[in-house]
Structure 1
Amino acid sequence: MVHYIIVITLLALGLSPHCLSSKTVGGGYLYPQFYDHSCPKAQEIVRNVVAKAVAKEPRMAASLLRLHFHDCFVKGCDASILLDSSGSIISEKRSNPNRNSARGFEVIDEIKAVMEKECPHTVSCADIMALAARDSTVLTGGPSWEVPLGRRDARGASLSGSNNNIPAPNNTFQTILTKFKLQGLGIVDLVALSGSHTIGNARCTSFRQRLYNQSGNGQPDNTLDQSYASQLRRNCPRSGGDQNLFFLDFVSPIKFDNSYFKNLLANKGLLNSDQVLFTKNGESRELVKTYAYNQELFFLQFAKSMIKMGNISPLTGYRGEIRQNCRKINA
């Protein structure tokens, strides 16, 4: 139903019949029907493997969604995050945002293995990630959208790009917004995409400063609800417990809904990067309120922003390659 609403709304906005396709920097197009003839079962394969992985471990949905995000913010949506270190490649998996944190690589490997049997050398790892992100959203109760396809895979990675481009939990609002704008995304995209924190977990290290020393003065963050803060302190002590996991949305941690935004209204956003959406900027504050009161509007914008994010500098045509193994470039 939500998918139907999204398509109808896009048509109502007067977008072209290819409203879900986009011209890319390299001159090629991304469009949802890209594999209809070359690999008709591509989307079904991704959906089946993701469904199995999420049924086994619900947290995997958030991990796959995040993987796509962490890929697109570095050199564009080109599967560079999947490359292991080898030869001249230093893996993005070693960056601060990804080390001991990015996960779901084996799920992508499994999808790729099935895909190579079904249609060898055809479907890119970058497209697999874009589809897996959409399917993870749908499986947890979120909106659906048609994923524009036709990306190709990078032959290199950028450790520095990964360290510098991906917003960090303790970044200021302005820094986060700047990082989004550098990717061609605006404040509406920032707030809507942050709503993906309605599922998934964060480690104690990513928000500890809010509990004990927010501004370097030995005081907790005064924008954090104090009863919530004391709950968090139980499993996130001043030292130790770095890897302890906490739900980003404690109300409905494995359901994709708008309770993330309701939590922000109650000053119960887990990460500093969550709560600043409500406390540091008037425009984003209004968007938070809008999505907290209107889940349908949040879902609609989330789908549009995911399509937009998936269009960041993809490789098309003859640029890049179709990797046979997502972890390494072709021989």
Structure 2
Amino acid sequence: MSDLTLHWESHACLPLHPQASFAPIDRLRAAGVDYVSINVGMDMNPVQQVMAVIAGFRATIASQPDKYVQANTLADIQRAKSSEKIAIGFDLEGAMPLMEQPEMVALYAALGVRQIHFAYNRNNSVADGCHDVERGLTPLGVRMVQAVNAAGMLMDCSHTGRRCSLDIMAASSQPVIFSHANPLALVEHGRNITDAQIRACASTGGVVCVSGVSFFLGNTAPTVQDVARHAAYVADLVGVQHVGIGLDISFPQRELNDDPPVFNGQPYEPSYWWPKAAGYDRAILRATYTPVETWQVLAQALQDVGMSADDAALVMGGNMLRVARKVWH
């Protein structure tokens, strides 16, 4: 598979419900996406919900082999692309579904989880969130990094505290990614990442995938030009070989209630996970996204900010393919 022919969407969100419609995945495929990583759970989601979602999503993929391929290997992605299907992997946002057991990493990998980050905005026993008090990676966190490396899973640092992300990158024996993150130098937001984080990611051989979320692009109606501008900043800082795309589009389905019923025995409280003081205001309702069709015009937008056609192709998928080729077993 040529590194210049694959379009890799590093992060997208369906409702966390076993019966979620995959119509948005069909839209991504129609827009030219060859592989997409779909979220199957966050720190606030109980394990029983995460497992039900994985089971439901796997069943949907298996029931429509004319459209979808469960991606466990690069060969699966090649098979999907050659037959004009879309390959699908899963990702976890936070370590709490691991239940403080490093052995859970390999189990999730066997179920199709191909990437993970360790904290969703808030601290836990493994890692720091980007909207919480800095402590750094915990001793358990070091063991979790080792488990992720051993399982052939992509180690992600999105949503993670700045000091903690540097600790993770130092602990990892494999390239580390940010599946959906933007440069702090362009937009001041706690979820955006510093030049030091970008350089550290690149030094592992990893990739920073630019998000298309309004808060992080600094535009309430974000465009493909915003995405290209942020991608160009990362490319200028560390080289085009360390830039990717993770638009982080959320596809709500109003008929489904995907809120967790409880979190650690307490009622689910969105303002804890998306604190207003950090720049959110009813985040789930107020966030806007670059459209799915961004994928159809992204190559030209990247060239408009100074990249060559080959550079643009690397950003749109070749770089993530290179990292997965090294990390995935």
Larger gyration radius, structure 1 or structure 2:
1
Higher relative helix content: 1
Which protein, 1 or 2, shows the higher relative CO under an 8 Å CA cutoff with sep ≥ 6? Answer: 1
Do they fold alike, i.e. is TM over 0.5?
Answer: no
TM-score (norm 1): 0.28
Higher relative strand content: 2
